[in-house]
Structure 1
Amino acid sequence: MKAAILNSLERPLAITQMPDPEIGTGEVIVDVAAAPVLSYANEVFNGQRRYTLELPIVPGCGAIGRVRASGPDATHLKVGDWVFCDPTVRSRDDALMPDIALQGWSSRGDGGLRLQRYFHDGPFAEQVRVPTENAVRIGDIDPGEAARWCALNVMLVPYGGLLAAALRAGETLLVSGATGNFGSACVAVALAMGARCVVAPGRNAEALDDLKQRFGARVRPVRLSGDEQADRERMQQAAPCPIDCVIDLLPPSAPVTAVRAAMMAVRPYGRVILMGGVGMLGDAGLDLPYPWLMRNDITVRGKWMYPTEAVTLMTGLIRSGLLDLRHFDVKTFPLDRANEAVSHAAANGGPFRMTVIQP
């Protein structure tokens, strides 16, 4: 099969032939129809993000495709089924503390690295081998819409945070990082889940206006000034009622003061979910006042990715019409132009924009 291979952090992807993946028990082979290119893929491939990758590797993070073959443990999958290839691979030998790797993308700890060495190659190829539970059926789709269904890859991340927060219909949510790629998707998902309104702080006035135009009065934009106390007060004032929940999706380059300003806008007895990257580049950590946390009974939870059932639940939101994939503008590239796709993704990231490789 043809694949795009990362051989070195100093060289572009090599488009070449490699052996087809071989199926084993507990595995599925998928013909890749569309694979998203994350906006920061160039930072992963050049080493700037310092992800744990053992080279050479076929990279990529998630895909839409059709089942080519499945193992004896698959009782529902059929050849030709459309599936989302979930990149979040979990070890099967410790239910309480499974090791995790993102297939074709990164790993965490020694256990995650062992997973990555086996479920190594990602979807920048004509075929990909995934664990059975990671080939999640999405129902029949128009093949021409496969690239747009890659929006699952973006929306599932904040959806995992909202599920962890137990967001309920009628609650008010604040999305820290609302003008970013994952943050804007979070706004869409929260509204689909029935949020009363979403407070959307950011510095990008154009992106804030776009959110307001897309979703109407249920989005309450707040232009950030950089003054932590003033920004916190403006976020609270923008909400029609106390803010029940805050989710942070800010990237590593964001200042920690922006995270804290948003977190401390939550009401007493409120919940905070941390999913961003602040501090990952060695900057200052998050400094929260102990008395505020304790006396206001604040719940703070970190969350990485999403539970396995999230794909099926989100597919239901899409099929019901509550979540509209047409919000996303998609630029597609053939596999032969994978390096061009990576450059395009870096230059054209942001809300509701996707770059997709179609092998």
Structure 2
Amino acid sequence: MKAAILREFGSPLMIGDIADPTLGTGEVVVDVVAAPVLSYTDEVFSGARKYLLPTPVVPGCGAIGRVREVGPDATRLKTGDWVFCDPTVRSRDDALMPDITLQGWSARGDGGKKLQRYFRDGSFAECIRVPTENAVPVGDLEPADAGRWCAINTLMISYGGLLAMDFKPGETLLVSGATGNFGSATVAVALAMGARSVVAPGRNEKILDDLRRRFGERVVPVRLSGEADRDSQAMMRAAPAPIDAVLDFLPPSAPASVARLAIMTVRPYGRAVLMGGVGMLGGEDLALPYPWIMRNNISILGQWMYKPDAVAGMVGLIRSGLLDLDHYAVTEFPLEQANEAVVHAATNSGPFKLTVLRPAP
């Protein structure tokens, strides 16, 4: 099969032929129809993000495809089924504390690296081998729609954070980092889940206006000034009700003070979930006040990715019409133009933009 291969960090992808994956027990082989190219892919491939990804490797994080072959433990999947290839691979020998690797992308800790040795190659190829539970049925699709369904890759992370905080219909959410890819996706998912309102702070007025245009009056944009006291009051005043929960998706370039300011807008007995990149490239610690957390009964949770059963819920939101994938503008590239796709993803990043590889011949 043809694949895009990252030989070493800092080198361009090489398009070449490699052996088809061999099916084992507990696995599924999927023909990749569309694979997302994330906006920061160039930072991963250059080594700037310092991701745990051994080279040479076929990279790629997630895919939409059709089942080619199933193992003996699959009782419902069949050849030809459309599936989302969930890149979040978990070890199976510790249900309480599973190790995790993002197939074709990164890993968490020593256990994740060990898991990565086997589930290593990702979706920038004509087919991919995934654990049986990671081939999640999405129902029948027109092949032309497969690229847009790659939005699941981003939407799932937002959904995972909302599920982790037990977000409920009728609640008010503040999204810290609302003008980024994950933040804007969180706005869409929270509204689909029945949010009373979503407070969207940021400094990019164009994106804030676009969020309001897309989703209507339940989105409450707040233009930040950079003055802490003023911005804190502005966020709380803008909300039509006390802020029940905060989901942080600020990028590694954001200072901890911005995250702290947003988190501390939450009401007493409120919740905050951290899913962004603050501090990953150095800088000050988050340093939330102990007395404020304790006396106000604040719940603070870190969340990486999402629980395994969350994908089915996401598919349900899309199939019901509550979450509209037509918000996403999709640009597609053939596998042979994988390097061009990486450049395009970086230079055309932003909310509701998708760059996709189409490996199928």
- Fold equivalence (TM over 0.5): yes
| Secondary structure of 2:357 counterpart | strand
Structure 2 matches for 1:7-26, cutoff 5 A? 7-26=7-26
Aligned-partner SS, 2:28: strand
- Residue 5 of structure 2 is aligned to residue 5 of structure 1: yes
Q: Give the equivalent residue in structure 1 for 2:289.
A: 289
Letter in 2 for 1:82: W
Question: Aligned partners of 2:32 and 2:119: how far apart in 1?
Answer: 16
Q: 1:59, 1:233 → 2: CA distance?
A: 44
* Deviation readout 1:168-226 (Å, 9 max, x if unpaired): 00000000000000000000000000000000001100000000000110000001111
Aligned to 2:204: 204
* Pairing 1:128–2:137 present: no
Asked if 1:347 is matched to 2:342, the reply is: no
Report the Cα offset of residue 227 of structure 1. Answer: 1.6
1:189 is aligned to: 189
Q: Distance in 2 between matches of 1:33 and 1:238?
A: 43
Instruction: Please state how far the C-alpha of 1:10 moved relative to its aligned partner.
Output: 2.4
Helix, strand or coil at the partner of 1:118: coil
Q: Which residue of 1 aligns with 2:356?
A: 356
Specify the SS of the correspondent of 1:124. Answer: coil
Query: What amino acid sits opposite 2:310 in the alignment?
Result: A
Q: CA shift at 1:355, angstroms?
A: 0.2
Q: State the partner residue of 1:228.
A: 228
Partner of 1:260: 260
Q: Distance in 2 between matches of 1:163 and 1:349?
A: 26
How far off its partner does 1:282 sit? 1.4
The residue aligned with 1:174 is 174
In 1, Cα distance between the equivalents of 2:28 and 2:228? Answer: 49
Letter matched to residue 276 of structure 1: G
Counterpart residue identity of residue 101, structure 2: A
SS for the counterpart of 1:243 is coil
Distance in structure 1 (CA, Å) of the matches to 2:356 and 2:10: 23
Q: How does 1:58-73 map to 2 (within 5 A)?
A: 58-73=58-73
Deviation at 1:250, TM superposition (A): 0.7
Question: Which residue does 1:216 correspond to in 2?
Answer: 216
Which residue matches 1:91?
A: 91
Deviation at 1:258, TM superposition (A): 1.0
| Separation in 2, partners of 1:228, 1:302 | 24
| Superposed displacement of residue 285, structure 1 | 1.3
C-alpha distance in structure 2 between counterparts of 1:349 and 1:309, whole Å = 29
Greater CA drift, 306-315 or 181-190: 306-315
Matches within 5 A, 1:42-53: 42-53=42-53
Unaligned runs of 5+ in 1: none
Shift of 1:229: 2.0
Root-mean-square deviation (Å): 0.5
Gaps of 5+ in 2: none
Q: Return the alpha-carbon distance in structure 1 between the equivalents of residues 98 and 10 of structure 2.
A: 33
Aligned length: 359
> CA shift at 1:228, angstroms?
1.9
Which residue of structure 2 aligns with residue 334 of structure 1?
334
Q: State the partner residue of 1:158.
A: 158
Q: Following the alignment from structure 2 to structure 1, what is the Cα–Cα distance between the partners of residues 127 and 240? A: 49
Alpha-carbon distance in structure 1 between the residues aligned to 2:229 and 2:155: 30
Residue 237 (structure 1) aligns with: 237
Supply the distance in 2 between the matched residues of 1:92 and 1:227 (Cα, whole angstroms): 48
Alignment correspondent of 1:306: 306
The amino acid that maps onto 2:143 is P
2:66 counterpart letter in structure 1: R
Q: 1:62 & 1:123 partners in 2: Cα distance?
A: 6
Distance 1:126 1:116 in 2: 20
Cα deviations by residue, 1:284-332 (Å, 9 ceiling, x for unpaired): 1101111110100000000000111111111111111100000000000
The CA distance in 2 between the partners of 1:238 and 1:73, in whole Å, is 52
Summarize deviations over 1:206-263 as a string: whole Å, max 9, x none.
0000000001100000011112222111100010110000000011011111101110
Counterpart position of 1:316: 316
- The one-letter code of the counterpart of 2:88 is T
